Amino acid sequence: MSLIQTERLQLRLLRDDDGDAAAMLQLLNEPGFHQYIGDRGVRTLEQAREYVRKHTFGSYAAHGFGMYAVERRSDGAWLGNAGLVRRPGLPSADVGYALLSPFTGQGYAREAVQAVLGYARNTLGLGELRAIVSQGNARSVALLEKTGFQRDGTVVLPGENEQLLLFVNTPQD
């Protein structure tokens, strides 16, 4: 069932079935995911299923939001995920996204981020949102700036060592 729809995409709750687990396993092991987001140590289908249960289902239960599967409406292809994360060390929810490499560079990430922003504001009633980006990830920086985020310094999240770029997106009155 679709939670959010755009012209080309539908975003839905992630599931712990074989289809979503296999897609998440692939996404979590993409070279770009490892480089810019991090290696989550997920190497098997069962580990991917457990990752969805722990991180995604836990967020849905605790916050009423989380990461969502991003699918192409025309054919149902699983492109990646996008959604909202509540991280220690940040004053508000942050927008996250990651696509499988065959689907990058086609505007899907931007469309998904814009849809998540609209859902956060119009359905969830959230105000200020954040985003964090590895310093070398120029494509994500450009995407965030195109979707209304502004640079807001840097941050090191609790328990981490990497200094990340911090962005803020404030509702327009």
- For the stretch 91-124, pLDDT in tens is 999 999 999 999 999 999 999 999 999 999 999 9
How does residue 2 score in pLDDT terms, banded at 50, 70 and 90? confident
pLDDT digits (tens, 9 = 90+) for 27-64: 999 999 999 999 999 999 999 999 999 999 999 999 99
pLDDT at 173 over 80: no
* C-alpha closest to that of 24 among 54, 4, 1, 2: 54
The confidence band for 1, taking pLDDT boundaries of 50, 70 and 90, is confident
Q: Residues 130-149: pLDDT tens digits?
A: 999 999 999 999 999 999 99
Length of the chain, in residues: 173
Cα distances (Å, whole numbers) of residue 95 to 76, 87, 109, 147, 156: 23, 10, 11, 11, 17
N-term to C-term CA, the chain: 32
Res 37: pLDDT: 93
Query: Mapping DSSP to helix (H, G, I), strand (E, B) and coil, where does residue 115 land?
Result: helix
State how beta strands 78-85 and 67-72 pair.
Answer: antiparallel
The predicted model scores a pTM of 0.95
